[in-house]
Structures are given as C-alpha cells and as structure tokens.
Amino acid sequence: MSTAFLALGSNLNHPKQQILAAIAALKEDPHISVHAVSGLYQTPAMGPPQDDYINAAMHINTEYTARELLSFCLTLEKKQGRIRIQPWGPRCIDIDVLLYNDIQCKEDDYTLPHPGLKERLFVLIPLYEIAPQLILPDGTALAALLQKFSAEEKAKYTLHI
C-alpha cells in the first residue's frame, strides 16, 4: 500500500455536498483506505472573481500507482459533473493528488508533489489538521510552510464544519 494526500475543493452546485460525495466515493473504492479527513474549510477563491470555496484534505492508503490514483480522481470529477472550461475558474469539484509516498517527479500530465502545494493556504491548513508532523519529500516541514503566512492571512480560512 502506498500513502497519498489529496486536496478537495468546490464552489459550485452545493459545494459541501460535492466534497462529501467525493469523500464517500473515495471511501467506497476497494483500492483505497481512508486514514484521515480534515474538516471542511471555507476559503477565498484564487483567480477570477467567484464564490468562496469549500476545501478539505485527505490522507489515504492506496493500491493504485500515482498515475492510477490521478486517473481515478479525474474520473470522480467527471462523474460529479466537472467540466474544465476556465483555468482557475469555478468548479463543482476538484480533487488533486498532493503527495504520493516520497515521489518527486515532473511529467507532462502531472507533477508530484502538487506544484502549488507550498503556496496555497487552502491546501496547507486542512493538510496540517490531519498531518501536523508531515515532512515533504524535499525535507520541508509542513509546519514551517505555515509559519511563512501571517495570522491575518490564516484568519481568512475558516473551519466550515
């Protein structure tokens, strides 16, 4: 079994229900064992003007390879109605593979760790909730990444549930 961390986000079509449906689908898959799920956080959107997001993080164990896990997540997004129209635009569901074991790679169709992981509080805060001692493959402590942000910046990310 491999270890992976996922980020989930939604700001369309009942975002809370979209996140909960994705979590349920991941729990139901026989190749995935869910170790931990963060609370749901209301977070400001990046990109063009749009509604706030609901975000969460998951720690899973899986029999899937990194590429198979990415494919499974993309399939779940499509099943929940995700249509990729506008980069950084609103979405009903987004499921990103943040980390997979200690793999560091840059391929044409995916990069591990996820390229925006270190700069996105909407990912770091829920991830820290479920894995406060996490060390990234490059040796960076998750806690050290959070220290780079001000209390004012962190206050924008509120626990929704």
Separation CA 80–CA 66 (nearest Å): 21
Separation CA 103–CA 94 (nearest Å): 21
Separation CA 59–CA 64 (nearest Å): 14
Count of positions (residues) in the chain: 161
Q: Is residue 56 very low, low, confident or very high in pLDDT (cuts 50, 70, 90)?
A: very high
Whether residue 82 has pLDDT greater than 70: no
Reply yes or no on whether 102 is catalytic. no
Identify the structural domains of the chain with CATH numbers, from first to last: 2-159 (3.30.70.560)
The distance of Cα 37 from the centroid of its chain, to the nearest Å, equals 11
Cβ distance 34 to 60 under 8 Å? yes
Q: Give pLDDT, residue 88.
A: 65
Q: Give pLDDT, residue 89.
A: 67
User: What percent of the chain shows pLDDT beyond 70?
Assistant: 96
Q: Give pLDDT, residue 158.
A: 81
56-70, 76-90, 138-152, range with the lowest pLDDT: 76-90
* Structure tokens belonging to residue 14: 């009942």
Separation CA 75–CA 98 (nearest Å): 17
Strands (E), 87-151: 94-100, 105-106, 111-112
Q: Catalytic one among 29, 51, 52, 82?
A: 82
Please choose, from the candidates 2, 9, 44, the residue with its C-alpha nearest in 3D space to the C-alpha of residue 23: 9
Q: Catalytic one among 51, 67, 94, 109?
A: 94
141 by DSSP, 3-state: which?
A: strand
Reply yes or no on whether 52 is catalytic. no
- Give residue-wise pLDDT tens across range 110-155: 899 999 899 999 999 999 999 999 999 999 999 999 999 999 998 8
65 by DSSP, 3-state: which?
A: coil
Q: Catalytic one among 29, 96, 102, 120?
A: 96
4-13, 64-73, 80-89, 146-155, range with the lowest pLDDT: 80-89
Q: Give pLDDT, residue 13.
A: 84
What contacts 28, CB < 8 A, 6 or more positions away?
Answer: none
Separation CA 121–CA 146 (nearest Å): 8
